[in-house]
Amino acid sequence: MVTMSQPLPSSRAPITAIAQAAGDPLGEILHLLKPTGVFYCQSRLRAPWGVAVPAFPGMLSFIAITHGACWVTMAERAPIQAREGQLVLMTTAAPAHYQSELDAPLTDLAALPVRKVTALYETLEFGGDGPETTFTYGLVRIDHAASEMLLALLPDLLQIDSKDDGADDWLRSTFAFIGREAQELRPGGETVITRLVDIIVIEAIRRWLSRAPEAEQGWLRAARDPQIGRAILAIHRDPAASWTVASLAKLAGMSRSSFSARFSNLLGAPAMQYVTTWRMNLAREQLRNSPHPVAAIAEGLGYQSEPAFSRAFKRINGVSPGQYRVTARQGRR
């Protein structure tokens, strides 16, 4: 179960303390992006083989290849070949095909002869008598409140190569270690493999954020802005505060008019709309993952009454908080 990223009503840090605290909004978000593994399959496949994977809404999927190579085809994208030491991360819920060769016959994921090791971890041996490929396939969910905003900006496919000249030694050794563990699954090996793969998934996102030109726009650009980023950080740290444009401008060290114009220019929405969006992101996260009643969640996000919170939630999400909670939890069964 994922813990909430914001506490329910308790002693909050004073706004002045938040203003004085050094911080990096993007860095804080990355620190909290802890993937929740939903499914992992350690696969040993011999050519010819092909696997058709359906869409999994709300999930990120990946393969981390520790030996051999395979073709990856997703939606309308041109096929790419992934090789040993690479991780391919799919950030959308589109169906995907994994094949030893592009003309290899496909078998539906649900029809594969898997062996269940734990509730979340399976192993698979499948295919013909040709060259072998081994990889970990996985589905993860990232439930932090900022994940919706961040994932909406990511490309639908990210690829990280531990054998690149610029790759860190730890990345190469991590792939090698996963490969050794996969050869002979020792007690606790599935835990080691899944945790290490989760780290590589986050590293793929971090590398895109630090290197891709597309990461210098919109919300990501605003989070890096010295003044607007300070206001965003304050909103994230204390969503229940009685924020106004004037108070946020003061934190940013700007005039009210300059702050409003710059905030809207960078994010494409006014500051107070962002405050509401952030509160609703937190609300959805907490309704999915916490046992707290709606009234307590409303109070923890700065709403004076449960009805006021419910009206705001339904206006933005189209359903009441209670309906959202039931639907979200049914979807995880």
Q: Where in the chain are all domains bearing CATH 1.10.10.60?
A: 15-31+217-330
Q: What letter represents residue 81's amino acid?
A: Q
pLDDT for 148-176, tens place per residue?
Answer: 777 778 888 999 898 886 667 888 888 88
Position with higher pLDDT, 3 vs 260:
260
For residue 294, the Cα-to-chain-centroid distance in whole angstroms is: 25
* Residues 193 and 119 sit within 8 Å (Cβ to Cβ): no
Average pLDDT, the chain: 85
* Residues 60 and 139 sit within 8 Å (Cβ to Cβ): yes
At 327 the pLDDT is 87
Position with higher pLDDT, 102 vs 77:
102
Q: Which strand ranges, in their side-by-side order, compose the sheet holding 80-83?
A: 80-83, 69-74, 96-99, 50-53, 107-108
**Strand ranges for the chain from DSSP E:** 35-46, 50-53, 60-67, 69-74, 80-83, 86-90, 96-99, 107-108, 114-116, 121-127, 132-142, 157-161
* Residues 61 and 90 sit within 8 Å (Cβ to Cβ): yes
Strand partners, 80: 72
CATH number for 33-214: choose from 2.60.120.280, 3.40.710.10, 1.10.3720.10, 3.40.640.10. 2.60.120.280
- Classify strands 132-142 and 35-46 as parallel, antiparallel or unpaired: antiparallel
At 142 the pLDDT is 76
* Residues 204 and 89 sit within 8 Å (Cβ to Cβ): yes
Number of Cβ within 10 Å of residue 56's Cβ equals: 18
Phi and psi torsions of 307, nearest 5°: -60, -40
At 94 the pLDDT is 85
With cut-offs at 50, 70 and 90, classify the pLDDT of residue 24: low
Winning range, highest mean pLDDT, from 97-106, 119-128, 193-202 = 97-106
Name residue, tokens 């563990």.
Answer: 181
Residue 122 structure tokens: 């399976």
pLDDT for 235-255, tens place per residue?
Answer: 988 999 999 999 999 999 999
Single pTM value for the model: 0.75
* Residues 297 and 287 sit within 8 Å (Cβ to Cβ): yes
**12 pLDDT above the threshold of 50:** no
pLDDT for 39-88, tens place per residue?
Answer: 889 999 999 999 999 998 878 899 999 999 999 999 778 999 999 999 99
The fold adopted by the segment(s) 15-31+217-330 is Arc Repressor Mutant, subunit A (1.10.10)
Number of H helices and E strands in the chain, helices first, is 13, 12
* Residues 12 and 301 sit within 8 Å (Cβ to Cβ): no
Q: Where in the chain are all domains bearing CATH 2.60.120.280?
A: 33-214
